[in-house]
Amino acid sequence: MSRQLLLARHGQSAANAADVFTGWSDPPLTERGLVEAHTIAATLAGFDIMPDVMFASALHRAIHTATIIRDDLCLPLEIVSSDALNERDYGDLTGMNKAEIAERYGAEQTLAWRRSWVSEPPNGESLRDTAARVLPYYLREILPSVLDDRTVLVVAHGNSLRALMMVLEGVPPSAAETVEIGTGAIRSYMFEPNSRIASASWLAGHSGVC
Ligand SMILES: O=C(O)[C@@H](CO)OP(=O)(O)O
């Protein structure tokens, strides 16, 4: 019996390393990102956790991270990929350097675009918009697997996972900026049969860069 949900953020991407807004752009993992992906697998193995089901976004950095984990753990499963789990769409900010955007538009506006619940980057998604596409997918595809006594691993992105964590943990919109998940971090939830969360913990640190 398991009913465990694991949320892991992909390893560092080339855009993370260059400090640019990544969003729906599709950069590869860096060397460090590859190491972080292997480390996620090693951490899960250290806890004796073998996922039965794996989900990833449709973006390369998440699929590559998930594939490394699956292969390192020799898991005989297909990774289910969906763009519902993609990173928040950063719209016109995509590909722009974060420090330069902060200089041009001010630190406060930039922080609002990056960390508030409702602020929409120009032609992009707010965190609330991101939650509105992640949550239906979670309820329809992911939660039923967890409640079927599985260990389910979801490999996705800083903001698609933050949106999900906020809802799972009942974090109010006013506290959106307190929820962070660094590259290579793993958040674990144990569920009761009635879908209540019995416990939440970090299996690997949540304070990575970007
Ligand atoms: O650029 C992005 O897409 C995200 C994640 O890397 O960045 P931020 O932490 O600013 O939301």
Model confidence band, residue 190 (pLDDT cutoffs 50, 70, 90): very high
Please tell me the predicted confidence (pLDDT) of residue 209: 38
Model confidence band, residue 208 (pLDDT cutoffs 50, 70, 90): very low
User: Hey, what domains does the chain have and what are their CATH numbers?
Assistant: 4-76+102-204 (3.40.50.1240)
Query: Rg of the chain over CA atoms, in angstroms?
Result: 16
Q: Is the pLDDT of residue 206 over 90?
A: no
Query: What average pLDDT does this structure show over 104-124?
Result: 97
Q: What residues contact 202, with CB distance under 8 A and at least 6 apart?
A: 185, 186, 187, 188
* Spacing, Cα 119 to ligand 1 middle (Å): 14
**Active-site residue, 36 included:** no
Please tell me the predicted confidence (pLDDT) of residue 1: 65
Whole-number Å distance between alpha carbons of 116 and 126: 8
DSSP string of 138-168, one letter each residue: IIIIIHHHHHTT-EEEEEE-HHHHHHHHHHH
Q: Which two structure tokens, joined as six digits, stand for 44?
A: 């899960």
**Active-site residue, 10 included:** yes
Q: What's the complex ipTM?
A: 0.95
Long-range Cβ pairs for the range 97-100 (8 Å, 24+): 97/18, 97/19, 97/20, 98/19, 98/20, 98/21, 99/19
Q: Which residue from 12, 22, 97, 119 has its CB within 8 A of the most atoms of ligand 1, so it is best to mutate?
A: 22
> What percent of the chain has a predicted confidence (pLDDT) above 90?
96
Please tell me the predicted confidence (pLDDT) of residue 11: 97
Q: What angle do the packed helices 107-115 and 98-105 form, to 10 degrees? A: 130
Catalytic residue among 10, 36, 64, 125: 10
Ligand 1 pocket, Cβ-based, cut-off 6 angstroms: 16, 21-23, 87, 90, 114, 158-159, 210
Quick check: pTM over 0.90? Answer: yes
Question: Comparing 110 with 1, which gets the higher pLDDT?
Answer: 110
Catalytic residue among 36, 64, 87, 125: 87
Q: Is the pLDDT of residue 47 over 90?
A: yes
